Amino acid sequence: MRKVVNYIGLGLMAAAAAAMIAGDAFAGETSSPLQPTAEKFYLDFDMLAPAALSCDATGPGVRTKATRDIAGKPVLRVTGNAAQAQISCALPDGTRFSTDVNRDPRLYNTMYPTYATVTFQRGADRMTTVLRQNDRIKDVRHGSFLRVAQGSGADGWDSSLTSLGGKTEGGTKDAPVLIGD
């Protein structure tokens, strides 16, 4: 019985590959073989995140799949060149967020994907991200999920504490520019 199930599984995989090649041929594109990657990164949110939040990742060689968990919170799966992906999230009111926790190449291995859970705080400029692999906490990055405000960035957005009205010892004029645009 187990051999029959294995043969059926192999047949389904072959059929899927043939369908992918045929789809590329009809679209006029060259077909490339499926290339497995060790860079698998999942971004999700705790229960306090608004369900209206949506996320995306862009960059060369980046493959993304955006879904929702059972509570309606976004789950972003990033594969391919995940370490170079530009991850951004947005709310319907125009509030944008950005993170670069996926940029550390030490996060990736061939055995397990990296899961990043953002502890969302409504109205906060910076939020904490907890990184896990194989059900173990790998790292906690405080302030790694940043609110991005409209300002002087290359695309018209800026994540500096000055533009967000943040507080520093010397006032907002001395606030550092945050990475994330």
45 and 133 share one domain: yes
Token code pair at residue 175: 């606030």
CATH code assigned at 68: 2.60.40
Q: 135 lies in a domain? A: yes
In three-state secondary structure terms, 143 is strand
Q: Domains in the chain: how many in total?
A: 2
Residue closest to 129 by CA, chosen among 43, 38, 40: 43
Same domain, 58 and 6: no
Q: Are residues 48 and 106 in the same domain?
A: yes
- pLDDT value, residue 181: 40
Q: Residue 165: which pLDDT band, with cuts at 50, 70 and 90?
A: very low
Dihedral class, residue 27 (left if φ above 0, else alpha if ψ from -120 to 50, else beta): alpha
- Whether the predicted pLDDT of 169 surpasses 50: no
**Residue pLDDT, tens place only, 129-139:** 999 998 899 89
Instruction: Give residue 105's domain range.
Output: 41-149
CA dist., res. 172 & res. 150, Å (int) = 16
Same-domain pairing of 29 and 116: no
Average pLDDT over residues 126-148: 91
pLDDT recorded at residue 172: 45
What integer pLDDT is reported at residue 168 of this predicted model?
42
Residues 22 and 92 placed together within one structural domain of the fold: no
Which tens digits make up the pLDDT trace of 19-29? 556 555 555 55
**Residue 175 falls inside a structural domain:** no
Residues 132 and 75 placed together within one structural domain of the fold: yes
Which of residues 94 and 18 earns the better pLDDT score? Answer: 94
Provide the 3-class DSSP secondary structure of residue 27.
coil
Arithmetic mean of pLDDT, 144-149? 86
- The pLDDT, as a whole number, for residue 108 is 86
| Statement to judge: residues 26 and 54 lie in one domain | no
Note whether 97 and 138 are same-domain residues.
Answer: yes
2 pLDDT tier (thresholds 50, 70, 90)? low
pLDDT of residue 130: 95
pLDDT digits (tens, 9 = 90+) for 42-81: 999 999 899 999 999 999 999 999 999 999 999 999 999 8
Q: Verify that 53 and 117 share a domain, yes or no.
A: yes
